[in-house]
């Protein structure tokens, strides 16, 4: 092996994986000195809850949870649902005191297969249009299958007390019976701790905001589904709004079988290509975060070239030694970060990370092209538009809200 190959080997096999791990640890190290407990503030009850639901009523799994919020709940759907869907949603709304918002959304074929949609513009269109009807000063957007262990009034109260305009929360995997689910507990813990450093990594499953801020941001939103939540935070931060993190834990169900997990991660990888590569011009505001996100994709070919060189040019024993060193370093850092929450699945983290970086990440480009071409939307984030203090726009002419007593 020549000097150039050895240098490439040292960079991509040893330095880069270690660097990625250290970057992932940044949130954990920052959070180590921060307050770990959630001290509920005075609750704020003047808010509305937006719940996107379309395609199939069976996706509305959190009705018992939402019941406590009654008329503050606005079920956000479209005007092109089936009569059966409309009848079922009307029944649920009437029984629980919910309201229904219906927005006009072009749907040539989406939502008719009975499968949960992982693309398209439906969700963000109905949320954007529904926001024009909200009159409460605060709004919480929550998925139809998400619940919280603490009252939403505490979350909104935390925003009010800290004078935040938008806040990310902490997602905690709730289904930990299977190995794949337990691995994601560690993965999510790092991601949530990182939000202490970059709070604009908002979660679509649940987030809260000042209504006018959410409204202004969604008017600028690209409506690209994958990465739509992070785009919300990016836009709010770039427009000068106060974006923060509230350690309000929200249980979430993660895919614990290989096929659903793979489908989700490929879609996520496509969304990351959209955010970190296609919209790289936004890096000037958060250069380190963008450099990390872009490097994951740009260095993917180097990793594969290195892996081939490692197998082809080095003796078997030396190849095994190099892999052993990388694995040891990865495990050492993983156990350091997760020591208080450690379990046996930490031993699988190097393999999990390798699968993500060598297989899932490179395929993200193909998934982005697939999603962009399918929806005729490439997810370009544009900051041009009215200033944040501009007068709120009029209610959308295509919007219809149905109230329930």
pLDDT tens-digit readout, 81-130:
999 999 999 999 999 999 999 999 875 544 444 455 555 789 999 999 99
pLDDT of residue 389: 46
Return the structure tokens found at 374.
């399918």
pLDDT band at 168 (very low <50, low <70, confident <90, very high): very high
Whether residue 277 lies inside any domain: the answer is no
CA of 48: how far to CAs of 37, 71, 191, in Å?
27, 8, 28
Mean pLDDT of the chain: 82
**198 in the same domain as 340:** no
Domain identity same for 27 and 68: no
Q: Let me know if residue 395 belongs to a domain.
A: no
Domain check: are 204 and 72 in the same one?
Answer: yes
* Domain match, 350 and 316 both: yes
Same-domain check for residues 157 and 76 = yes
d(CA 364, CA 273): 6
67-81, 156-170, 330-344, 365-379: range with lowest mean pLDDT: 330-344
- Residue 40: the pLDDT is 63
Tokens of 111: 């939502």
Which of the listed residues 256, 274, 306 is the one where a domain comes to its end?
Answer: 256
CA distances from 379 to 1, 88, 110, 151, 281 (A): 43, 33, 18, 34, 13
Lowest mean pLDDT among 150-154, 215-219, 223-227, 384-388: 384-388
Q: Cβ neighbours of residue 377 under 8 Å, at least 6 residues apart? A: 121, 222, 223, 224
Number of domains within the chain: 2
We report the CATH number of the domain holding residue 154 as 3.90.550.10
The radius of gyration of the chain's CA atoms, rounded to the nearest angstrom, is 22
pLDDT (mean) for 287-295: 73
Give the per-residue pLDDT at 401: 43
Q: What is the per-residue pLDDT for 72? A: 98
Burial class of residue 340 (count of CB atoms within 10 Å of its CB; 0-12, 13-18, 19+): exposed
Q: Can you tell me the mean pLDDT for 320-334?
A: 78
Question: Could you tell me if residue 264 is inside a domain?
Answer: no
Q: Is residue 67 part of a domain?
A: yes
**Residue 274 belongs to a domain:** no
Residue 44 pLDDT? 95
Task: State yes or no: pLDDT of 321 exceeds 90.
Answer: no
Residues 196 and 341 grouped into a single domain: no
54 and 179 housed in the same domain: yes
Together in a domain, 86 and 230 = yes
Sheet strands side by side (includes 206-210): 243-252, 166-173, 206-210, 138-142, 47-52, 73-78, 99-103, 399-402
Residue 207, domain member (yes or no): yes
pLDDT of residue 353: 84
Report yes or no on 394 lying in a domain: no
Phi/psi at 318 (5° precision):
-70, -40
Domain that holds residue 131: 38-256
Assigned domain for 121 exists: yes
Query: Do residues 364 and 296 share a domain?
Result: yes
Question: Average pLDDT in the 321-346 region?
Answer: 84
């Amino acid at each position: 092996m020549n000097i150039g190959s050895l240098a490439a080997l040292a960079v991509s096999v040893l330095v880069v994986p270690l660097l990625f791990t250290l970057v992932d640890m940044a949130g954990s190290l920052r959070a180590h000195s921060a307050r770990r407990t959630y001290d509920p503030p005075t609750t704020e009850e003047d808010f509305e809850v937006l719940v996107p639901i379309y395609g199939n009523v069976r996706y509305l799994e959190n009705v018992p949870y939402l019941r406590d919020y009654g008329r503050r709940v606005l079920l956000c759907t479209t005007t092109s649902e089936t009569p059966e869907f409309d009848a079922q949603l009307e029944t649920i709304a009437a029984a629980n005191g919910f309201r229904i918002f219906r927005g006009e959304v072009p749907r040539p074929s989406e939502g008719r297969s009975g499968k949960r949609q992982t693309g398209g513009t439906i969700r963000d269109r109905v949320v954007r249009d529904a926001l024009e009807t909200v009159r409460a000063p605060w709004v919480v957007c929550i998925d139809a299958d998400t619940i919280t262990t603490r009252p939403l009034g505490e979350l909104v109260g935390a925003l009010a007390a800290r004078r935040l305009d938008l806040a990310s929360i902490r997602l905690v995997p709730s289904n930990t019976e299977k190995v794949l689910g337990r691995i994601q507990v560690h993965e999510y813990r790092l991601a949530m701790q990182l939000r202490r450093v970059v709070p604009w990594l908002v979660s679509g499953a649940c987030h809260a905001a000042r209504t006018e801020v959410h409204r202004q941001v969604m008017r600028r939103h690209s409506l690209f589904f994958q990465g739509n939540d992070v785009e919300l935070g990016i836009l709010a931060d770039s427009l000068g709004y106060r974006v923060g993190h509230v350690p309000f834990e929200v249980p979430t169900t993660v895919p614990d079988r290989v096929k659903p997990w793979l489908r989700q991660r490929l879609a996520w990888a496509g969304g990351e290509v959209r955010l970190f590569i296609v919209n790289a011009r936004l890096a000037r505001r958060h250069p380190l975060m963008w450099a990390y996100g872009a490097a994951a994709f740009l260095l993917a070919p180097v990793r594969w070239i290195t892996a081939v060189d490692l197998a082809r040019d080095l003796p078997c024993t030396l190849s095994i030694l190099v892999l052993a060193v990388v694995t040891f370093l990865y495990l050492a850092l993983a156990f350091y970060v997760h020591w208080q929450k450690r379990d046996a699945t930490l031993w699988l983290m190097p393999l999990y990370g390798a699968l993500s970086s060598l297989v899932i990440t490179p395929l993200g480009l193909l998934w982005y092209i697939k999603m962009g071409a399918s929806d005729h939307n490439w997810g370009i984030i544009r900051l041009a538009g009215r200033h944040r203090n501009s007068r709120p726009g009029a209610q959308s002419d295509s919007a219809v809200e149905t109230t329930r007593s």
